[in-house]
Amino acid sequence: MDLRFSAEERAFQKEVRAFLDENLTEELREATRKTTTVFVDKDIALAWQRILHEKGWVGYFWPEEYGGTGWGPAKRFIFEAECARAGAPGLIPLGLKYVGPVIFTFGSAEQKRHFLPRILSGEDYWCQGYSEPGAGSDLAAVQCKAVRDGDEYVVNGTKIWTTHAHFANWIFCLVRTAQGARPQEGISFLLIPMDSPGVTVEPIITLAGDHELNQVFFDDVRVPAANLVGEEGKGWQYAKFLLEFERGGGSASVKLKEELAHVRKLAALQPSDGGRTMMERERIADGLADIEIEIMALEMAELRIMSALSAGKNPGAQASMLKTVATEIEQALSELAIDILGPDALPFVTERPLYGPSSRRPLRHPEGEAVMAQYLNKRAATIYGGTNEIQRDIIAKMVLGLR
């Protein structure tokens, strides 16, 4: 196992840095810094996506034949790491990272021809219809029903916690097309236009006050049978494939390092007692050091996994390890940021978006303005993408071989 980058990879790293210096605007950086939600807003994400699309880098983990870069794991890692280091907005993964790979791996020729270029360009904006009120951790319990009627399916049911459904023009859904002997049987993977008659979207406002989540209702929604991905009843296989992309195999450590640097800056600015800053308080300094060590260990795990992956292979159960560790570090860091700011964290909860021109009262430290909302939002990190308890179950079974 070699964790060092080759000369070619280092040259590529330089090329990415130069591109970011030239193309990543301060406006996009600021919006990213002040985003309080899991994903940046649609307009910010699409502005960045269009810049990358023009360069040909937006499908950076897609094969070349579908308009991707064809990069191997090392280049993908370098690219993600450099983007995070430069403070670029995260690309919305719903199309690019989740449904895109499902379509190019399992979809029909027509689905590939139609959807893939539109995902890369951002013309189509997707949301994910997996969870239901009675099917979250136990995802195979999905009840949203699709009944075949001639050349169409008729869909009835509901999906919940649907991120960005209010922006999306398409939703990929796990639907029940049959009742099998096992709950995993009889699930299908269906692509549904959000403007179909019978689709309604109700907002869910988060603890942090943001509108990011929704509940989506399907009431006799007619969907062309051509929108079925792969085989009817095989949806569970495609769903699991997608979840491995959702959970990891990335470079969360780099983003966490940037966040750690930001929290250190807050600690150095925030007054404490006796003319000291919070940085000089032992508990805070120790907390920051502990988190830095955790991030370094995560980085090593990411590099090890990246080094072991051959191009095109998905990350498997290792993704569960990365997801668990990265999200727990993320939460610990956001808790420390609140400890550092204390009551100064409080007034900044309600106004959105923070990067807009809205007038605000002066802050003691503008650097801290997103801290409370980010802290509240990050409570969800150990829930979405499959809760960390479920990830630990997967690790126990698939990595440690425990039954």
Ligand X SMILES: Cc1cc2nc3c(=O)[nH]c(=O)nc-3n(C[C@H](O)[C@H](O)[C@H](O)COP(=O)(O)OP(=O)(O)OC[C@H]3O[C@@H](n4cnc5c(N)ncnc54)[C@H](O)[C@@H]3O)c2cc1C
Q: Are 93 and 125 in contact (CB under 8 A)?
A: no
Q: How far is the CB of 345 from ligand X (least distance, A)?
A: 21
Q: Are 320 and 395 in contact (CB under 8 A)?
A: yes
Q: Are 129 and 192 in contact (CB under 8 A)?
A: yes
Q: How far is the CB of 49 from ligand X (least distance, A)?
A: 18
Stretch that binds ligand X, among 25-33, 116-124, 161-169, 258-266 (CB under 6 A): 161-169
Shorter beta-carbon distance to ligand X: residue 164 or 257: 164
Task: Give, to the nearest 10 degrees, the angle between helix 42-55 and helix 26-34.
Answer: 140
d(CA 212, CA 377): 10
> Which DSSP symbol is given to 382?
G
Out of 103, 386, 394, 395, the only residue in the binding site for ligand X (CB under 6 A) is 386
Q: Are 349 and 369 in contact (CB under 8 A)?
A: no
Q: How far is the CB of 388 from ligand X (least distance, A)?
A: 7
Structure tokens belonging to residue 385: 């993408």
d(CA 46, CA 94): 13
Shorter beta-carbon distance to ligand X: residue 24 or 208: 208
> Per rule CB under 6 A, is residue 184 in the interface with ligand X?
no
What is the number of the residue whose Cβ is closest to ligand X?
136
Shorter beta-carbon distance to ligand X: residue 253 or 382: 382
d(CA 148, CA 23): 48
Number of residues in contact with ligand X under rule CB under 6 A: 20
Stretch that binds ligand X, among 158-166, 223-231, 271-279, 345-353 (CB under 6 A): 158-166
3-state secondary structure of 307: helix
Contacts of residue 39, Cβ cutoff 8 Å, sequence gap at least 6: 45, 90, 92, 93, 163, 164, 212
Out of 69, 162, 251, 270, the only residue in the binding site for ligand X (CB under 6 A) is 162
Out of 153, 161, 218, 348, the only residue in the binding site for ligand X (CB under 6 A) is 161
Stretch that binds ligand X, among 66-74, 116-124, 224-232, 376-384 (CB under 6 A): 376-384
The vertex-174 CA angle with 191 and 238, nearest 5°, equals: 85
SS (H, E, C) 329-379: HHHHHHHHHHHHHHHHHHHHCCCCCCCCCCCCCCCCCHHHCCHHHHHHHHH
Out of 13, 387, 396, 398, the only residue in the binding site for ligand X (CB under 6 A) is 387
Q: How far is the CB of 100 from ligand X (least distance, A)?
A: 15
Q: Position of tokens 């425990």? A: 402
Write the DSSP assignment of 67-107 as a string of letters.
Answer: TS----HHHHHHHHHHHHHHTPPPPPHIIIIIIHHHHHHHS
Q: How far is the CB of 162 from ligand X (least distance, A)?
A: 5
Structure tokens belonging to residue 290: 């502990």
Q: How far is the CB of 99 from ligand X (least distance, A)?
A: 11
Q: How far is the CB of 386 from ligand X (least distance, A)?
A: 5
Residues in the chain: 403
Structure tokens belonging to residue 199: 């689709």
Shorter beta-carbon distance to ligand X: residue 168 or 284: 168
Shorter beta-carbon distance to ligand X: residue 38 or 91: 38
| Neighbouring C-alpha atoms within 13 Å toward the C-beta of 383 | 9
Shorter beta-carbon distance to ligand X: residue 204 or 338: 204
Q: How far is the CB of 327 from ligand X (least distance, A)?
A: 11
Q: Which of residues 94-153 bind ligand X (CB under 6 A)?
A: 127-131, 136-137
Stretch that binds ligand X, among 43-51, 296-304, 348-356, 382-390 (CB under 6 A): 382-390
**Catalytic residues, which ones?**
246
d(CA 373, CA 378): 9
> Per rule CB under 6 A, is residue 38 in the interface with ligand X?
yes
Shorter beta-carbon distance to ligand X: residue 140 or 349: 140
Shorter beta-carbon distance to ligand X: residue 46 or 390: 390
Q: Which of residues 207-246 bind ligand X (CB under 6 A)?
A: 213
The vertex-14 CA angle with 89 and 288, nearest 5°, equals: 55
> Per rule CB under 6 A, is residue 163 in the interface with ligand X?
yes
Q: Which residues bind ligand X (CB under 6 A)?
A: 38, 127-131, 136-137, 161-163, 213, 380, 383-384, 386-387, 389-390, 393
